[in-house]
Chain A
Amino acid sequence: MAVLELSGVTKRFGGLTAVSDFNISIQEGELVGLIGPNGAGKTTVFNLITGMYAPTLGSIEFLGERIDGRKPYEIARRGIARTFQNLRLFKNLTALQNVAIARQLECRYSFFDAAFRTPVFKAEERRVLDDSRELLELVGLGDKAYERAKNLPYGYQRKLEIARALALNPKVLLLDEPAAGMNPEESLNLMDFIEDVQEKFGVTIFLIEHHMEVVMGICDRIVVLNFGCTIAEGTPLEIQEHEEVIKAYLGEVQNDDESHAQG
């Protein structure tokens, strides 16, 4: 059974069709890439999956259940976690707090337990903080636990956002341009890191990238969007040789600098 299945998903903003008749079926354990030029509709696909937008048409199923129309927090609780293209960390909080906020979803102690610091409260809090610390350790941020998110170097902030998403213990992890703003070497390191994460946590990953080369190495399968339409789908090799993809990307070469600045 597919973990995530989008069928005929269309999203219009007024007269603009940001995503048109999008279909994909992602199997457990896959690492699927979503690429395409600026404004192709990639982030919109993520916003649709995570309930930030409701689709105009079509359906989204997670583990066989419809999730379109559900609230973002409900979808997150079911097991779909995401990162954001422009980093949305809790900036003034420490790395540990950032992770704990996602991690605490599993604690069930009551308001009364919290107000009077009952043994249940203490045990669950300890577990949340221990788990969070362990997670930071796993992603290589162990010694940064007490740094405020905004004071971390950019690359670490990217990793912290991934750690925060992993803290939800998700089945599916959506990564929106995790390598944005990184140089080619940093990007490649990050891709190794993502492969590593998939191995350690056994999550299914759906990954947006702007730059084709970066995802080629790690994705099982790649979907290419252009102006909201799916123009190609296949293995990295197939995509590399796909005529329309080459055209879409060649058409982009002239304004590539601009897209860098925006990323």
Chain B
Amino acid sequence: MAYIQGVMIIICVNLMGVLGVSLLTGFTGMFSFGHAAYMALGAYTSAILVGRLGMPFVVGLLAAAAFAALASVIIGYPTVRLVGDYFAIAALGFGEATRLILDNGGSLTGGARGFVGVPKHTTLPIAILIVILGAILMRNIINSRFGRSFVAIREDKLAAEAMGINTARSRMLSLAISAAYAGVGGSMFAHYLTFLQPVMFDINKSTELAATVVFGGLGSMTGSIIACIILTSIPEIFRPFYLWRMVFYGLALVTTIVLRPQGLLGSFEITLEGTRRFLTAPFRRRVSAGGGARWQS
């Protein structure tokens, strides 16, 4: 039972990271292979504030979000103007640099050997509560002028700019929100595991987050959520084949790209309204009823 609870908590942790990356990649069109770094910053911030300085868990969570967002703004300022792949490469460099800094952080971070003695606060109900709250806030943001600006940039950056959108600033905002989500995920992770090591937040973790979002379908939050639940739990179910985990990711990704390039859900969202219509009108316009309503109004 404790084991299943643990898996579910890890799903919640990953969900926070995935919600963030989904906003950035799926809705704003920016690829990042460094988001594990924001999780790491959140995890260590929270571990230090709560574990060393004795602050309450809530403060740790909020500070994790704030510090990750702040770091993303500092990193983002010179890099969000970079186009396409160059931003992804810069993000990757940042991710690795963060890991190295944590590796060499001395007594503050515990270095490569790790940070021990983080108080345990992340229980399953708390984790689920945070994720639900996070998902609702994310949906609200996407369904606002902010979300519409992000999507406009994804669709056509130049046209977005010509429609009065400050694209550099919008991209930065999207990056900051996504970093804050990853930071919260990191904090939850720290207070679940009670022990941190920089290697937990390496490029594999970043790739996992990005891969999950692609797998779920770019531009679909519900797709990202489903993908995260599947991709986090399957390696746990097949624990004996743990070493094959990355192979599984590769396979899942390649299979998606070949069979369903738009991802599990494409850009469709599963909504309450859509589900209701789907159930009440099963023989009429199935496809559009199933995913008719998107998260953006």
Contacts and interface: CB of A to CB of B under 8 A. Distances in A.
Contact of B145 (A71, A77, A128, A168): A128
A114 B162 contact: no
B273 interface: no
A148 to B, nearest CB: 10
A76 B146 CA distance: 18
Contacts of A13: none
Contact of B137 (A93, A107, A115): A115
A225 interface: no
B297 A91 contact: no
A37 B30 CA distance: 38
Interface size range of chain B in the complex? 20 to 34
A105 B170 CA distance: 13
Contact of B159 (A88, A104, A109, A128): A88
A107 to B, nearest CB: 6
Interface string B264-297: 0001000000000000000000000000000011
Contacts of B141: 111, 114-115
A71 B161 contact: yes
A125 B144 contact: yes
Contacts of A77: 164
A229 interface: no
B248 to A, nearest CB: 30
A82 B146 contact: no
B45 interface: no
Interface string A63-103: 00000000111001100011010001111110001001110
B146 A125 contact: no
Contacts of B152: 90, 93, 101
A242 B283 CA distance: 66
Interface in B28-82: none
Contacts of B151: 90, 93, 97, 101
Contact of B162 (A76, A121, A129): A76
B148 A97 contact: yes
A115 B140 contact: yes
A52 interface: yes
A30 to B, nearest CB: 22
Nearest to A121: B144
A114 B155 contact: no
A171 interface: no
B159 A76 contact: no
Contacts of B137: 115-116
A97 B296 CA distance: 8
Nearest to A82: B162
Given A90-B155, A129-B297, 15 more contacts: A72-B158, A73-B162, A81-B162, A89-B159, A90-B151, A91-B156, A92-B219, A93-B151, A100-B148, A101-B163, A111-B146, A114-B147, A117-B140, A125-B144, A164-B163
Shortest 4 CB-CB distances between A and B: which pairs? A114-B144, A90-B155, A88-B159, A76-B164
17 contacts: A71-B166, A72-B162, A82-B162, A89-B159, A90-B151, A92-B219, A97-B148, A97-B296, A101-B148, A101-B160, A107-B145, A109-B144, A111-B141, A114-B146, A115-B141, A121-B144, A168-B163
